[in-house]
Every structure is written in structure tokens, then in C-alpha cells.
Amino acid sequence: MDQKSLYKTEAGKAAVLNIYHQLLTKLTVPYEELYLNTRHGKTHIIASGAKSSPPLILLHGSGSNATMWVGDIAHYSKSYRVYAADIPGDPGKSEDIQHSLKSPAYSEWMDDVLRGLQLEQATLIGISLGAWMAVNYAVKHPEKVEKLVLLSPSGIGPQRALFLFKAMPFLLMGEKGRDKVSRLVNGIVELPEESLQNTKIIARHFRFRSETIPIFTDQELNRLTMPVLLIAGEKDVMLHSQKTAARLSSLLPHANIQLLPEYGHVLIRQTPRILPFLSSNSK
């Protein structure tokens, strides 16, 4: 892929990292920042919770970073050792290189993350592209994924191509237009003010991924033999959530599928739905 800078300017990169640090101050539990060396460069991780607790890896969506989980980490870290990773190629503190989603790079990266954390197995929670990353790893290494939680996952059902055409005129209207698109994507979810500012700063300074997200084959998805929870919003303007749910239900009868009628693509503060699944004895 073209490896030009992911940021429009160095000052823009500094602005993104500055608000990253501001968001970290909102964490209400002790945490540490880790850096792992992988074959695809350095990876930054926010770690919290007792080291003896079961491992839980959080994977953010495209054009975001690990700070999107700030409101959830306190809940998860009561029972889990939480690792919120910055995916390489997104506006976080990991390597500034985007790899093709068709390459083995991101499954290799995920494998290196587990190895670097000295984990033989972990539960994965991903949202949007992060959910794609989780599935991409789980279909290749099902024995290393204890449970899988997918929020608004890409790669299972089709994307809504018309949304891009609807959004394009707004994106050309500057910040007001970007706010309009953000409201469409967020749906009924009201983001905290600092999260909204983070989204605006990233949109202003970051070059978003333009690659079409690959769709997993039936054969690949059939490898997901671990417990799976799918949560999706019926009013998702980016993905066909109903088709996603129907396909996964057909292929994985054991999957726990929850379609939320009033929600759109952005699903945050879902711990009341996720924690019971994580603590269940299903294998």
C-alpha cells in the first residue's frame, strides 16, 4: 500500500496524540502503558486489572484508537486483565503503517501481540474494523481465542454502499458536514464531549483507510467454534446489520445474537450486555 504519512501534517499528528493523553486522564482505575515489538512494528497497549485475572483484548474501530474504551475499562478490569490495543495504521500510538487487509499482516500482528503478552489464549472484543480484526485472527487461530465479542462487525454482512454517496456531500462541507455524518453514524448514542472532540480532531488531521473491507467466506466463519456474541444496531447506516445477524445465525447456531432496534453503528457502554456473556460457562 502507499506508505505516505497517515497524518496530513506533523502538527495534526501532535494534536491527535495530545487529546489521546487527555482522554487517558479520564480513566478511573490504575493502568499502565505497554509497548510491544511485533514483526509489523511497535504496538502500544493500555493495560488494566489484576495480572492474575483472565486476559481480555479490546480492538477499536477504524480511524479510532484504544481511548475509545476509556468508559468501559473500569468495568472490565474488575474481573479481567484488560489490554486495549492501538491497531497499527490507525491514529493511536502504535506503528504509523497501514497494511492491506488482504495480506496476512494483521493476523500476524495479533499473534505477536498475544506472544508479547505471554498469552496462550485470550477473549477478544472488537468493534467495526476491530471486530473484523478479531474474526480475522480467530478463523486462523481458533484455539487461541476463548470467546469472541463482535460489535457492529465488518466482514460478515455487506457494507451499505449508498451511505458513502450520501455522506460525500457532507464531508465536503467542512466541520459542520462532518458533524452531520457523525450524527448519522452515532445514531442515538450521545458521546461525551471529549470523545466528540477526539473524533473531530482525528477527522481533521488523519487520512482514513479507503480499502474495501474483505468479506469472510462461509468456510472461514465456520471455524469460529468458540462462544460468540454479536451485538449490532438495526439502524446502522454503514453496515447491513440484519444481514450480518442472519448470516452468522445461519452459520453459527451457537452464537448469541442481539440486534438493538434503536441503535446505529456506534455501540459504546455495552458492558451490561457483554459481561454476562463473558462470565457464562459456555464453551
Per CATH, is 10-279 categorized as 3.90.1150.10?
A: no
What local confidence, expressed as pLDDT, does residue 165 receive? 44
For the ranges 163-177, 193-207, 257-271, the lowest mean pLDDT is seen at 163-177
What local confidence, expressed as pLDDT, does residue 207 receive? 92
Q: What confidence tens digit (pLDDT) does each residue in 177-204 have?
A: 555 555 555 565 666 788 888 988 998 9
% of residues, the chain, pLDDT over 70: 87
Model confidence band, residue 268 (pLDDT cutoffs 50, 70, 90): confident
Q: Is the pTM of this model over 0.85?
A: yes
The mean pLDDT value for 123-139 works out to 98
Q: What average pLDDT is seen over the chain?
A: 90
Residue 275 predicted with pLDDT over 50: yes
What local confidence, expressed as pLDDT, does residue 187 receive? 60
% of residues, the chain, pLDDT over 90: 75
Please provide the DSSP assignment of the chain as one string.
---S-SBS-HHHHHHHHHHHHHHHTT--S--EEEEEEETTEEEEEEEES-TTSPEEEEE--TT--GGGGHHHHHHHTTTSEEEEEPPTTSSSSS-S----TTSSHHHHHHHHHHHHTT-S-EEEEEETHHHHHHHHHHHH-GGGEEEEEEES-SSSS-B-HHHHHHHHHHHTTTHHHHHHHHHHHHBT----HHHHHHHHHHHHHB----SPPPPPPHHHHTT--S-EEEEEETT-SSB-HHHHHHHHHHH-TT-EEEEETTB-S---S-HHHHHHHHHS---
